Each structure stands twice: as structure tokens, then as C-alpha cells.
Amino acid sequence: MAFTRGMIGTMTSPLQTRVLPLIGPGKIGLLTSGGDAPGMNAAVRSATKVALARGHRVYGIRHGYKGLLDGQLVPMDHGDVDDIVRWGGTVLGSARELRFKEPAGKALAQDRVMEFGLDGVVVIGGDGSLTGARELSKLTTARGEPLRVMGIPASIDNDVGCTSLAIGVDTAVNTIVGAVDRIADTARAHDRTFIVEVMGRDCGYLAMVAAIASAADAVLYRESGRSHDEMLSHLEQTVRQAYRPGGKRSRAKRMVVILKAEGVTLSSARIKEHLDEALLKEIPTLETRVTVLGHLVRGGAPTAMDRLMAARLGNVAVIALENGRTAMMAAWRPPVGGEETMDKDVRLFDLNTVLTETAALRAATSPVAKKRVEMLQAVESIFAL
Ligand code: F6P
């Protein structure tokens, strides 16, 4: 397909004027960085195949920014990405690299860009990776042009601004729901109360949506703004109602599943301790257990949704680079209308906007964070026993 300027839609920033010349056959590096996320491989596959099909040479950069600094770049061919959509993790490897934040690290990255003759880099990752991408875009190619850099959001936490979903989120939610279904079998068999803690760093998204989908009885997430005391008394009430015959229910439920987001600083152990202290006299048969799902939530084969989204973001990212865009991220967010786009669900945002929105999302001050809380509150009756 011939690509013409203007096929990629919405850009909402001062950087939108920064359009570099089209490149002919060039060299494009791909890196995955930060916490791995299921679907990263689908993005690597798509970016590789699209770039090769358009006549570019592709280098896989091993272990994110660390590999860039260490010169671990390997040429990629169709054969290197054949089957990889089926695997979780990232075939390129990942790392959290601090050296790149320092001037010496940036100078070394500049040397590597020259050494390997890179014209552009696609960075697949979350907050830290995209912050690095913005720094990368300040480097210069051997042709004397700014290095073209495109970000693709990938983080199970769904804490990247400007995108409604990041790669890995859908798989992580499905993994949590599957795990809670299994835990619920034991909870039901033994009349138990389970506190299930899920990843997400500062962001409660995974716990919130998984709680709805898995029919949990309560969910704790930082964005609710509830104090620890309020959370504890709410849980106490929830458990009491479940084990008390009568009440609002014709029969006791005798099992409770509570989802707790990692970002809630009240520990799961403390919640268990509180429930035991407060309720064991009243409900002598009460048995509480804690399960921390941890890194289990980050692995596994990506869902079709994650593969599809990653493939489409990878496609747009490469074409955008070729078309002279830089310091931007391909986001999964339908255009608002009237824009000419090459993918109806993908928009480009400059990295400054993305990183500002990301910070606000993580601080729970952004409109998106507020909407998520409203979404949960709107279905609050689902949690009532
Ligand atoms: O950002 C993804 C994530 O899995 C978070 O949910 C979690 O807080 C963090 O990474 C764990 O990081 P690490 O794997 O370095 O322990």
C-alpha cells in the first residue's frame, strides 16, 4: 500500500509540527522495556513484518535500553517473529535500565544509534519506557536528522495516558478472573473468606474491572479515596452479612471474595488480622485466607484482543515513523471524528501529552481516573450481598 502524508490522524500537541522527511529504506530498531506484558510479542511481530514489507531493515534491541547501551542489536527477519504472538513475555527481553537516565548513558545511546545506523526506534512499554522514548527522540541519526521514535503502550497496569487500553491489560484481567473463579471454588467448598491481591502498581484498574467480571463481593482500590478505617469497616460489614443467616438474603452466602489492588497500602495481612479480630467471636467458623496473585497476572498467552490491538498499533507505529512522525505514541483510542486515519481505533499523541496524562492517571487526578471510579460506583449494587 502506498503511504501518503495525512493518512495518520489526530495529533494534539505542539510537536505536531515536527514532521521529518519521508524515509526510503531505513533501519528501524525495536525494543521492549519495563515490566513485560502479554501482547508485546504481537507488537514486535507486526512492527517487524510491516517494516520488512516496506523495505526497511529491522534490528531487535535485546533487553530494552540496557541492550541499546550495550550494543545488543540483532537483525530481525520474518522467521524470527513467525510464531511469537502465541507467547507471553517478550522475545526481545526487557529490563529496567537506570543508566539511560544519566548524561553518560544518553551519550552512549547516541554512539550506538550512529554505530548501527538507526533511523528510527519503536519503543514498546509503559511509563518509564515512554519517558525513555522521549529522551531517545532527542538523539541524532548518522544522516544528521533527529532519530524518529514511536511509542506503543504496553503495561498490564493500564496506567498509560491517552490510550484507553495498553497492551497486556486484557490478558491480565482475564487471568485474574480465571484465578478468582478457581479461588471461589475453594471459598465455596470451605465457607471461606478470601482476600485476593492483584498487581497494578498505583493503578486500581485491574482490581476494579476484574472485581465486576468475577463477581467479587468487594473491591479495594486507591482511587476510591476511602481511608483504611473506612475500607476495614466496609469489609467487616460485607463479611458479617455473608455469614449471617437472614439479613437481606433468604440464606447465608458463607463465602466472600475481596479483591485488593496492589496500590492500596493497607496490607492484605492486616486486612485478614482485622477481620479475624473483629468477627471471630461473632462467627466462630470464619476462616480467612490471603492469596497474592503477583507476577502470575503478568504472564501467559495473550488474548485475541491483546494480539489484535498490538498488531494494529505496531502497523501504525512503523508507518508513522516512515512518514516522518517522531516523539509520539500510537494509542488505542478511536478518533473523535472527521480525521483521516489509517486505522479507525488508533490515534497518535505526542509523548509530552502522554507522559503528562500518565502522571495524572497515576495520581488519580485525571478525568480518566475519575471516570473509572464513576464507572465502578455506577455498578455498586453488584457488590451488595
Ligand atoms: O508495571 C507492571 C508491574 O507488574 C506492576 O503491576 C508491579 O507493581 C510491578 O510491575 C512489579 O515489578 P517487578 O516485576 O520489577 O517486581
Across 123-131, average pLDDT:
97
| Paired residues of 289 in beta bridges | 194
- Residue 252 is predicted with a pLDDT of 80
Ligand 1: which of 97, 156, 173, 260 to mutate, most ligand atoms within 8 Å of CB?
A: 156
Task: Please indicate, yes or no, whether residues 34 and 163 belong to a single structural domain of this protein.
Answer: yes
| Distance from Cα 201 to the centre of ligand 1, integer Å | 7
Task: Please indicate, yes or no, whether residues 151 and 285 belong to a single structural domain of this protein.
Answer: no
- Classify residue 373: in a domain, yes or no: no
> What residues make up the domain containing 37?
5-168+302-363
- Residue 340 is predicted with a pLDDT of 62
Q: Residue with the nearest Cα to atom 12 of ligand 1?
A: 35
Q: How confident is the model at residue 24 (pLDDT cuts 50, 70, 90)?
A: confident
- Classify residue 136: in a domain, yes or no: yes
Active site residue 276: no
Q: For residue 184, give the nearest of 192, 173, 176 by alpha carbon.
A: 192
Closest ligand 1 atom to 37 CA: 2
- Residue 15 is predicted with a pLDDT of 37
Task: Please indicate, yes or no, whether residues 213 and 153 belong to a single structural domain of this protein.
Answer: no
Task: Please indicate, yes or no, whether residues 270 and 313 belong to a single structural domain of this protein.
Answer: no
Task: Please indicate, yes or no, whether residues 147 and 180 belong to a single structural domain of this protein.
Answer: no
Q: Domain of 11: which CATH number?
A: 3.40.50.450
Residue 74: in which H helix or E strand, if any?
strand 73-76
Q: Residue with the nearest Cα to atom 13 of ligand 1?
A: 35
Q: Which of 3-12, 110-119, 297-306 has the lowest mean pLDDT?
A: 3-12
| Distance from Cα 155 to the centre of ligand 1, integer Å | 9
- Residue 12 is predicted with a pLDDT of 41
Crossing angle of the two packed helices 367-378 and 205-213, in degrees rounded to 10: 20
Helical ranges in 40-149 per DSSP H: 40-53, 64-70, 78-81, 103-116, 127-136
- Classify residue 213: in a domain, yes or no: yes
Ligand 1: which of 127, 173, 199 to mutate, most ligand atoms within 8 Å of CB?
A: 199
Closest ligand 1 atom to 156 CA: 2
Provide the CA 371 distance to its chain's centre, in angstroms: 18
- Classify residue 12: in a domain, yes or no: yes
- Classify residue 369: in a domain, yes or no: no
- Classify residue 85: in a domain, yes or no: yes
Share of the chain above pLDDT 90, in %: 86
pLDDT, tens digit, for every residue of 148-178? 999 999 999 999 999 999 999 999 999 999 9
CA distances from 213 to 119, 177, 198, 326, 368 (A): 44, 7, 14, 38, 20
Closest ligand 1 atom to 159 CA: 1
Task: Please indicate, yes or no, whether residues 43 and 125 belong to a single structural domain of this protein.
Answer: yes
- Residue 5 is predicted with a pLDDT of 39
pLDDT, tens digit, for every residue of 357-377? 999 999 999 999 999 999 999
- Classify residue 382: in a domain, yes or no: no
- Classify residue 28: in a domain, yes or no: yes
Task: Please indicate, yes or no, whether residues 51 and 145 belong to a single structural domain of this protein.
Answer: yes
CA dihedral 83, 89, 94, 96 (to 10 degrees): 160
**Residue that is last in its domain, among 246, 281, 298:** 298
Q: Domain of 215: which CATH number?
A: 3.40.50.460
Answer whether residue 2 shows pLDDT above 60. no
Across 280-305, average pLDDT:
97
Answer whether residue 238 shows pLDDT above 50. yes
Task: Please indicate, yes or no, whether residues 59 and 148 belong to a single structural domain of this protein.
Answer: yes
Task: Please indicate, yes or no, whether residues 12 and 142 belong to a single structural domain of this protein.
Answer: yes
Q: How confident is the model at residue 257 (pLDDT cuts 50, 70, 90)?
A: very high
Ligand 1 neighbours by CB, cut-off 6 Å: 35, 126, 155-157, 199-201, 262, 298
Task: Please indicate, yes or no, whether residues 66 and 161 belong to a single structural domain of this protein.
Answer: yes
Residue matched to cell numbers 476511602: 226
| Distance from Cα 157 to the centre of ligand 1, integer Å | 8
| Distance from Cα 241 to the centre of ligand 1, integer Å | 35
Q: How many domains does the chain have?
A: 2
Task: Please indicate, yes or no, whether residues 156 and 17 belong to a single structural domain of this protein.
Answer: yes
- Residue 217 is predicted with a pLDDT of 97
Q: For residue 179, give the nearest of 149, 216, 147, 208 by alpha carbon.
A: 216
pLDDT, tens digit, for every residue of 308-347? 999 999 999 999 999 999 999 999 998 887 666 778 899 9
Task: Please indicate, yes or no, whether residues 208 and 99 belong to a single structural domain of this protein.
Answer: no
